[in-house]
Structure 1
């Protein structure tokens, strides 16, 4: 476990990357240029990083010093590769249980989901390199420390993770209101991975086309959707109910 840290300055970020620090997210000022920035771009091209181009005012809020147009967040945890997270679980469990988050980007939702996932026995959480909420102090606090107790891995694309899990004999079930099938119609005693989508857009349409089941929660009120962390809790506990 490492302390969550904010670093700023182009050279400092380059050195952090080259020293092997787990960079959770990098914020770069829009329109930034220059030789040192070109060096940063070459460094970033060697890996996969969650980069956002933001106005200068955003960087002023993130740092207390001369940020030179670049601020990075070092993750308090080390992320696993998909293979390192999944293969040991497949080797020892008959009915593994995974959770995929398709660009859930609110840190408190993310933290709440991690907490519920740990309580429900989820074996690992899979998130994309880009578009996912960072793991920062708010995430850690909202998760009640569960972020340190459950493996989390990053992948280039959630769709690639879906294909990988399916090829390993795991049914992939996506949460969406764009279906007539209810959550309670699926057999969750089988090896399962659940996909929860972005707070505003839901699960990406291209991913919905690849999953084994698209299901929804029955809704009786006038509001047609739930907060993603609440919906996720309902999905995860249906798995627990069927397997208990």
Structure 2
């Protein structure tokens, strides 16, 4: 059975995968055994679907129905191919603006970022296949439907997307407090991809190392950081200000 982009039960999830639905993540009860589960597990691996082993209490919170130890999130959107999206954006003659989200995991922050991205003319958002916030009903709600308007790409590693952007003439600007440069020092009139980090750890060191520029928001109070979706909005509107 299916409810709000969620399906449960081993056979139902197997059928969804076999029918070509875009599965964002499968939650599997720890210690689950049996022939049918092993068939499902093979399908998950074959299709490179994100999987997490969780206690039964987590599954019971996800659904009150008989889940048989398996619950899956169906993505409400089709994901775009990164190569095609970058090429189409450049060929259209606009100045590219992309967002790279490095391990951002909160679905509501994700939704809020997508909403701001749509309002500021972002041409695409790139997330990692594993560890990133899934596109769920909550994402759709907090994005106010913008999730259906902004192309989203999934990649194996954010660093791969960074190298691809750089090879395509797009500068990588990392939003991090580990710099003396502020967002107002960056030149956003150039083709740009902005990297935002996770809620707790920020941008991973390996991404910071290969970024073309680092930039921070000046913080005048005592709290040391902003919510990531708010910070992302401030960065994107500085791009808008420079490009208007």
TM-score, normalised with respect to structure 2: 0.95
Q: Does the 8 Å CA contact 1:48/1:129 hold for their aligned counterparts? A: no
SS of the aligned residue for 1:7 comes to strand
**Structure 2: where are the runs of 5+ without partners?**
none
Partners of 1:86 and 1:14 in 2: how far apart?
A: 33
Point out 4+ residue stretches in structure 1 off by more than 6 angstroms: none
Partner of 2:197: 197
Q: Does the 8 Å CA contact 2:28/2:69 hold for their aligned counterparts? A: yes
Q: Does the 8 Å CA contact 2:89/2:96 hold for their aligned counterparts? A: yes
Matches within 5 A, 1:138-157: 138-157=138-157
Per-residue Cα deviation, 1:105-149 (whole angstroms, up to 9, x for no partner): 111111110010000000011111111112222211111111111
Matched, 1:85 2:94: no
Range with bigger deviation, 10-19 or 183-192: 10-19
Matches within 5 A, 1:54-69: 54-69=54-69
SS of the aligned residue for 1:45 comes to helix
Q: How much does 1:31 deviate?
A: 1.9
Partner of 1:33: 33
Q: How much does 1:4 deviate?
A: 3.9
Paired residues, number: 242
Aligned-pair Cα RMSD in Å: 1.3
Per-residue Cα deviation, 1:188-242 (whole angstroms, up to 9, x for no partner): 1000000101001101111111111111111111111000000000000111011
SS of the aligned residue for 1:218 comes to coil
Q: Does the 8 Å CA contact 1:98/1:125 hold for their aligned counterparts? A: yes
